[in-house]
Amino acid sequence: MDKIFELIEKEKQRQQNSLMMIPSENYTYPEVLEAVGSILMQKYAEGYPGRRYYQGNEIVDEIEELARNRALKAFNLDPEKFHANVQAHSGSEANLGVYNALLNAGDKIMSMYLPDGGHLSHGWRMGDKKTTFVSKMFEVEFYKVNPETRLFDYEQIEKQALVFRPKLIISGGTAYPREIDYKRMSEIAKKVGAYYLADVAHEAGLIAAGVCQSPFEYADIVTMTTHKTLRGPRGAIIICKKELGQQLDMAIMPGLQGGPHLHSIAGIAVALEKTKTDEFLNYAKQTVKNAQKLSEILVKGGLDVVSLGTDKHLIVVDLRDKEQSGWFTAWAMEKAGIIMNRNTVPNETASPFYPSGIRLGTPALTVRGMREGEMEQIGKWILEVIDIVGKQSVSAEAEERKVDLKKFMSEIEGNQRLKEIKQMVEKLCGKFPIYEK
Ligand SMILES: Cc1ncc(COP(=O)(O)O)c(C=O)c1O
């Protein structure tokens, strides 16, 4: 057997036996895996249904048409008023497609500050160094959350927009645990004559289920990934007002990409159809309930949970008052079978590689059937791991840091209690099998 398949089997076991708490990860459906692994992968079909540059498209046209229609249906949108594009290969490319549709090189974008929870595809620079293509192509300015509340400060965003005069305002990010006021953001955009893009990569599934607020009435364009709370394959959907539809399609193909990944589009269509089931609705509701229960346990346990809770599937914890860096915490959690990621936090004082916080989420645990009772148990383990890690801040001195990190890794490798928690985690996971044997 090819080594790759042995490794896939090992990865499957890892996903079965650990707690998948990275909020952007999820378990998809067997039918999605089947569609994505299908012969559709073999077809080239540059263009759009009914208007392709290749022959032999009668079936794939139907598939892409179904995916586009289901995208609108999933969010209860009128096909007379809205348009969906399902071809962007990823969330980042969906955003690039939007910029390509609406902006010219050098135009101004205003988006959320990355360390506060924004996303790289909304532009980023490190000091003078323009790290992303978006920042090289456009003039990007960032808005920050209020340093006290760690929430969006709409008055401040408005003031900044009035001075900066962007052509595009973006909301959305990777680590903002609260609802965004889409209406307010659209009013700010209108006031300065900007387009408004709501990137709901994280929340898409929760919006489809009606558990989180919907941006469609307010935003000119909405982008989302399909593999997070939506439970589909890797990919993206862009939905815009009908009048921008043709411009958007052209911006993706031929503007940005070649052939659509029809296997992914088929998988997206399958996942979208599932959003209309009771099972999906229950999953979405329970995902939020689980996240709220977990954040309650963490707050009670003395952690600085950003904004003291969550409206969604994700929680951000600032570890600075524990004198702990997210790097250490995330590694110790992994040794205990709890997979989350280190993350920057509002008012960040450290570097993105050794940030001050952690980010954790509940979609994948919820798909497995875990509920509030399990969240209580998992919350206790998380608090215990944080206690085991103790005071571990990252020293600024690079050489010294290397030594610190190595020493820490060997200590946690040998930590008996982390091993015990890992065993308990595996036992819990065994009660919630994700794959049939
Ligand atoms: C808000 C937001 N936008 C865009 C993306 C990019 O998605 P992808 O990783 O598919 O490029 C992400 C991914 O985490 C995201 O959270």
CA distance 355 to 344: 5
Q: 148 and 63, same structural domain?
A: yes
Q: 209 and 133, same structural domain?
A: yes
Q: 72 and 176, same structural domain?
A: yes
Helices 91-102 and 245-252, interaxial angle, to 10°?
Answer: 120
Mutate to test the pocket of ligand 1, among 25, 120, 174 (most ligand atoms within 8 A of CB): 174
Assess whether the C-beta atom of 231 lies below 6 angstroms from ligand 1. Answer: no
Provide the pLDDT for residue 23.
98
Task: Tell me what percent of the residues of the chain surpass a pLDDT of 70.
Answer: 97
β-pairing, 108-112 vs 139-143, is: parallel
Q: Is the pLDDT of residue 394 over 70?
A: no
Q: 175 Cβ partners below 8 Å, 6+ apart?
A: 116, 117, 314, 316, 343, 344, 359
CATH number at residue 232: 3.40.640.10
Catalytic choice (132, 223, 225, 226): 225
Q: 176 and 205, same structural domain?
A: yes
Provide the pLDDT for residue 423.
98
State the pLDDT confidence band at 406, using cuts at 50, 70 and 90. confident
Mean pLDDT calculated for residue range 183-193: 98
Give 98 Cα–ligand 1 centroid separation in angstroms.
14
Q: What is the pLDDT of residues 94-126, one digit of tens each?
A: 999 999 999 999 999 999 999 999 999 999 988
CA distance 20 to 292: 17
Q: Is residue 8 part of a domain?
A: no
Give 15 Cα–ligand 1 centroid separation in angstroms.
21
Q: 256 and 297, same structural domain?
A: no
Provide the pLDDT for residue 130.
86
Q: 334 and 203, same structural domain?
A: no
Assess whether the C-beta atom of 359 lies below 6 angstroms from ligand 1. Answer: no
Q: 246 and 370, same structural domain?
A: no
Q: Is the pLDDT of residue 425 over 80?
A: yes
Give 91 Cα–ligand 1 centroid separation in angstroms.
5
Mean pLDDT calculated for residue range 419-430: 98
Structure tokens belonging to residue 245? 């539809």
Q: Is residue 14 part of a domain?
A: no
Mutate to test the pocket of ligand 1, among 92, 134, 234 (most ligand atoms within 8 A of CB): 92
Q: What does the radius of gyration of the chain's CA atoms come to, in whole angstroms?
A: 22
Q: Is the pLDDT of residue 359 over 90?
A: yes
Place of tokens 């990621």: 341
> What is the chain's mean pLDDT, rounded?
95
Q: Is residue 184 part of a domain?
A: yes
β-pairing, 304-305 vs 236-241, is: unpaired
Give 232 Cα–ligand 1 centroid separation in angstroms.
14
Task: Tell me what percent of the residues of the chain surpass a pLDDT of 90.
Answer: 91
Query: Can 404 be counted among the known catalytic residues?
Result: no
Provide the pLDDT for residue 20.
98
Q: 329 and 221, same structural domain?
A: no
Q: Is the pLDDT of residue 403 over 80?
A: no
State the pLDDT confidence band at 134, using cuts at 50, 70 and 90. very high
Place of tokens 């939506």: 230
Out of 227, 251, 274, a domain closes at 274
Q: Is residue 436 part of a domain?
A: no
As to burial, measured by CB atoms within 10 angstroms (0-12 exposed, 13-18 middle, 19+ buried), residue 257 is middle
Q: 256 and 125, same structural domain?
A: yes
CATH number at residue 399: 3.90.1150.10
Q: What is the pLDDT of residues 213-238, one digit of tens each?
A: 999 999 999 999 999 999 999 999 99
Provide the pLDDT for residue 392.
75
Q: Is the pLDDT of residue 397 over 70?
A: no
State the pLDDT confidence band at 131, using cuts at 50, 70 and 90. confident
> What size, in residues, is the chain?
437
Task: Give which of 36, 35, 32, 41 is closest to 259, Cα–Cα.
Answer: 41
Alpha carbon distances (Å) from 216 to 149, 207, 238, 251, 370? 27, 10, 11, 20, 31
Q: 88 and 39, same structural domain?
A: yes
Provide the pLDDT for residue 299.
98
Q: By residue range, what is the domain housing residue 382? A: 287-431
Q: Is residue 281 part of a domain?
A: no
Place of tokens 């008052």: 321
Q: Is residue 21 part of a domain?
A: no
- Contact between residue 148 and residue 119 where contact means Cβ atoms under 8 Å apart: no
Out of 58-67, 222-231, 277-286, 389-398, which region has the weakest mean confidence (pLDDT)?
389-398
Provide the pLDDT for residue 127.
81
Q: Is the pLDDT of residue 168 over 70?
A: yes
Place of tokens 């994505």: 36
Q: Is the pLDDT of residue 411 over 70?
A: yes
Q: Is residue 9 part of a domain?
A: no
Q: What is the pLDDT of residues 334-355, one digit of tens each?
A: 999 999 999 999 999 988 888 9
Assess whether the C-beta atom of 286 lies below 6 angstroms from ligand 1. Answer: no
Mean pLDDT calculated for residue range 9-15: 97
Give 382 Cα–ligand 1 centroid separation in angstroms.
26
Q: 295 and 245, same structural domain?
A: no
Out of 274, 301, 317, a domain closes at 274
Catalytic choice (70, 144, 228, 422): 228
Provide the pLDDT for residue 83.
98
Mean pLDDT calculated for residue range 30-35: 98
Q: Is residue 73 part of a domain?
A: yes
Mean pLDDT calculated for residue range 240-254: 97
Catalytic choice (43, 234, 285, 368): 234
Q: Choose between 400 and 364: higher pLDDT.
A: 364
Out of 209, 243, 274, a domain closes at 274
Q: 322 and 264, same structural domain?
A: no
